[in-house]
Amino acid sequence: MIDALLTDWRALSAIVGLALFFVWESLAPFFAQQERGRHAARNLTIASANVVLVGACCAGATVAVAEMTAVMGLGVLSQVRLPTAARVMLGFLLLDLWTYWWHRANHRWPLLWRFHRMHHSDPSLDVTSAVRFHSGELLLSAGLRLLLIPLFGLPLAALVLYDGVVVATTQFHHANIGLGDRADTFVRFVVVSPNMHKLHHSQLRIETDSNYATVLSCWDRLFGTYRRRENYHEIEFGLPDLEAERFQTIKGLILTPFRRI
């Protein structure tokens, strides 16, 4: 029942956010976008396959490990007397910090970059780009998180909350929208804003290797990876070596990690 809640919460967040931001970027796009339907169809096909595969492999295991952790009192958070709400919020912060470092590792380690570059090869950023990830990357991430649960003593509520927030925030900062410079600057004091993440998808490597945060923007400032620029309309997205049409098909996307570029 709880693993169904975990899956349903993520699915509900994804569907609502997808509809909301799709309408927003249709009415007021930040960039002009060509062949939007085909672009969305490819990304959503990849995402649908990932939901089935990763859900089947990891949802039940995540719940089982979290329940075992709670029963056995494992992990750092279990050793400290805290109200439930405080333990959930600390778990949320630890998950977001881990996600920052995991994302950064995906850019630094060649093997991980082979999988992650499928996400960065998207030549046109919109809300569907938020779910364009290789299943290999997602399985690695989910598998490592199974180790974090007993290590940190993460409560299941923190995992459910964090997963739902991640879905909403990644759709928000991948969407082809603009908040205006003043509003975007204000938003990024707390969470990752659209402009902040657009820079992360730049073709310029110095910009790609920055702004790694997923939810809270403070991690980039804290660890020296925060970057901004003056004109975000001039950003060019994607990876030049993977921009050819044969790399952007469903088959091409799946084979991305196995290509020698």
Percentage of the chain lying above the pLDDT 70 cut: 95
- Label residues 164-183 b or e (16+ Cβ within 10 Å = b): bbbbbbbbbbbbbbbbeeee
pLDDT at 9 over 70: no
**What pTM was computed for the model?**
0.92
CA distances from 180 to 28, 122, 183, 194, 229 (A): 12, 24, 6, 10, 14
Q: Across the chain, what does the average pLDDT equal?
A: 91
What is the tens place of the pLDDT at every residue in 78-132? 888 889 899 999 999 999 999 999 999 999 999 999 999 999 999 999 999 999 9
What is the tens place of the pLDDT at every residue in 200-223? 999 999 999 999 999 999 999 999
As a whole number, mean pLDDT of residues 181-208 equals 95
Q: Which two tokens stand for residue 16?
A: 């609502």
pLDDT of residue 8: 63
